Amino acid sequence: MVYAYVLLGSLLVIFAVLSGSNLIKHRSVRKFVRSVRDRVKRAEERKNSSHEEVFVCRQVNEGACRVTSIQLQKARSFIHEAERSLARGKTEEAERLFIQAITSNPMAHDARAQLAKLYLTLGKDQKAEAMYKELLAYCDDTSCFSNLGLAYYKQGKFEQSCDAYHKALERDSANPNRQAALGRALFAGQRFSEASEYLEKASARMGRDGELLELLAESFVKIGNQEKAAEAYRKLNRIEPYNEKVKERLEALA
C-alpha cells in the first residue's frame, strides 16, 4: 500500500513538473508571437502612414502640374494669336498678346524672345534692350547677345554694343556676320585698330559686301595704313566700278 502511495506521489510530481515546463514554454511562445505581431502591426502602421504621405504629395504635385499645364496652354494660345496678329500687320495687338503670354507663364521664353524682336523691329530699342537682358538671365543664346548688341548700337551705346557682340562672337566664332557686326560697333566706338582686325576677317569671307569693304578701308585710313586702305578701295572699285566716291578715294590715296 505504501508503495502505491509513493508511486502515485511520484507520478503527481512528474505531472506537475511537466505541466509547469509546458506552461512556461507556451507562455514564452505566446510572448514571442505577441512581440512579432506587435512589430508587424507597427510596421504596417508606418507603411500605411508612408502611403498616405506619398498620396498627399502626389495629389499636391498633380495639382501643380495641372496649374502648369494650364499656364503653358494659355501662353501657347496667346503666342499663336500674337503670331496671327503679326501676319496681319497688327503689331500693337501682337505686343499685347505676347505680354499676356508672359504674364500667364513667366517662363514663356519664346514669347519673350518674339516680343524683344518685335521691339527691335519697331525701333523701340530701349524696350528691346530690357527684354533681351531679361531673356539672357534665363538662357545663354547667341542670337540674343547679337540682338542685344544691335539694340545698344541703335541707341549709340557702342561700348555695351561691342561687349554684347563680342559675347555673340565667342559663341559663334566661325560666323563672319558676327565678326562684321563687332567690327562695325568697334568702328562706331572709334576703336579703329580693333575694328580693322574684325572687319578684315569678315571681308575675307564676305568679299562682295561693298559696305563692309568701305568700312574696312575707312578703318585703315583712320589708323594711317594707306596701303591697306587703297587695297580695300580697289576691291570695292571692282565690285562697284561706277562708284565715283570710291574713285575719288583711290586718287586721294595715290
pLDDT of 17 over the 80 cut: no
pLDDT of 153 over the 60 cut: yes
Cβ neighbours of residue 120 under 8 Å, at least 6 residues apart? 128, 147, 150, 151
Do the domains spanning 61-124 and 173-254 agree at the CATH topology level? yes
Angle at which helix 192-205 crosses helix 210-222, to 10 degrees, equals 150
Rounded average pLDDT over 12-39:
47
Domain positions in the chain:
61-124, 173-254
Q: Considering the domain 61-124 in this protein, what is its CATH number?
A: 1.25.40.10
Rounded average pLDDT over 195-218:
95
Q: Look at residue 69 in the predicted model and tell me its pLDDT.
A: 84
The rounded percent of the chain whose pLDDT value lies above 90 is: 63
Q: Quick one: 234 exposed, middle or buried, by C-beta within 10 A (0-12, 13-18, 19+)?
A: middle
Which top CATH class is 173-254?
A: mainly alpha
Q: Look at residue 62 in the predicted model and tell me its pLDDT.
A: 38
The full length of the chain comes to: 254
Q: Write out the H or E segment, with its range, that includes residue 126.
A: helix 125-136
Cβ neighbours of residue 129 under 8 Å, at least 6 residues apart? 148, 151, 152, 155
Whole-prediction pTM value? 0.71
pLDDT in tens, 110-145: 999 999 999 999 999 999 999 999 999 988 999 999
Cβ neighbours of residue 50 under 8 Å, at least 6 residues apart? none
DSSP 206: -
pLDDT class of 27 with cuts at 50, 70, 90: low
Question: CA 34 to CA 183: how far, in whole Å?
Answer: 86
